[in-house]
Amino acid sequence: MYRFAHLADCHLGAHRYTELKRLEIESFERAIKRSIDSKVDFILISGDLFHSNIPNMEVVKEVAKILKGLKEAKIPVYVCYGSHDYSPTRTSMIDVFESAGLLKRVDKIRREEKGYTLDFTADPVTGAKLTGISARRMSMEIEQFRYLDRGPLEAEEGFKIFLFHSAITEFKPAHLSEVESIPLNLFPQGFDYYAGGHLHERIEKYEEDYGLIVYPGPLFGSYATDLEANANGKQRGFYIIEFDDTIQSTNFMPLDFVKYAYFEYDVTGKGSQEAMDDIISKLQVYDVEDKLVMVKILGELSSGKTADIDPLRIRNLLMEMGALHVNINRHGLKRRERRRIRVRFDQDASKIEESLFKENRENLDVLRECDVDVAKELLDVLKRDKEPNERRIDYEDGMFRDALRVLSLDKSLGDLL
């Protein structure tokens, strides 16, 4: 009985915050260690080992150290490009690692008169035969799938694995319906295992005439949406597959060492200050110590500005409470839309002003508190031009006093003026 590990979408180097950088590397380290402990014969990485084709050199150093350990343990690593670590114009770090003997690409494709052709790479210990098609930016690999010479691939005997980094049209979750994809009928048939990447979802399906198709999903997550899903209970990890002439077992290996806290708050029906005070009050009783905290704030404010929901104040509070890292998602937060104002412009200026005040009364808090006539009178005060030779300080002081008089505040504030 033989074993192999299947990883995908490691996206090493994706994060810029120190704690998240540490967690993404630790996820990879843990996956490799568990693979070694499970005595796998080889490891597959179905694209996006790195988040870019030329990643940060500190990340490269850490990954090189881990891959060197696999080489010393005589565990080969077979890969294909992902959409992030592929470049059409320059050498990728994947190519550098292959030149150093730390991994092997099995996705080398040739264009010939009859179409695109692929060769197999045979694993020396197990005899498993591997090939595949890499990702390209904007799913441009669809041309290679469409014109692939599938006959020789399907006729090859033995235990066969096909690596790819593309969404399969028939398997896309509803929320990824707009993602570019490859129809299943463009894949070669008759492989024992189709090692997928690109979809940040765990999918395991057996398809007649094809074989077992598996997406392990990311090890940790490269985007806030991934981490939000993790905080809501989605498991991340990789697969270990046992096989001889055929697949004998599939085992998902969860990486659940990261602790999360998730907080969601709907501001609908609340003013910005009320919502902010309530958010702070509720967060103060949350257990966030040593946790990666995901905060999601959504809904429509009844008054105030979205900027009043202060992410810095929220983040500082949670970090003081011992959070490992705080991510705040305010993309679903909005202020109440103002009603469209309709006025007739064949009226004189005073009538238009009156119409505007009446139409806009519900949009502006200050207008709800005073009569339209008061608003018009206040506008007249504010429109007064500075008189010739009038000092600026006198002009501003007079306008201020007249405004207080209109608002009936001149008597109550008289002693302060």
Strand 2-7 relative to strand 237-243, pairing: antiparallel
Which residues make beta-bridge pairs with 325?
292
Residue 305 CA, distance from chain mean position: 26
Known catalytic residues are 84
Residue 130 CA, distance from chain mean position: 31
- In degrees to the nearest 10, what's the CA dihedral of 184, 185, 191, 196? -20
Cβ(310)–Cβ(277) under 8 Å?
no
Beta-carbon contacts of residue 14 (< 8 Å; ≥ 6 apart): 24, 51, 222, 223
The structure tokens listed for 189 are: 């048939």
CA distances in angstroms from 25 to 12, 176, 401, listed in the order given: 7, 27, 65
SS (H, E, C) the chain: CEEEEEECCCCECCCCCHHHHHHHHHHHHHHHHHHHHCCCCEEEEECCCECCCCCCHHHHHHHHHHHHHHHHCCCCEEEECCCCCCCCCCCCHHHHHHHCCCCEECCCEEEECCEEEECCEECCCCCCEEEEECCCHHHCCHHHHHCECHHHHHHCCCCEEEEECCCEHHHCCHHHCCCCCECHHHCCCCCCEEECCCCCCCEEEEECCCEEEEECCCCCCCCHHHHHHHHCCCCCEEEEEEECCCEEEEEEEECCCCCEEEEEEECCCCEHHHHHHHHHHHHCCCCCCCCEEEEEEEEEECECCHHHCCHHHHHHHHHHCCCCEEEEECCCEEECCCCCCCCCCCCCHHHHHHHHHHHCCCCCHHHHCCCHHHHHHHHHHHHCCCCCCCCHHHHHHHHHHHHHHHCCCCCCCHHHC
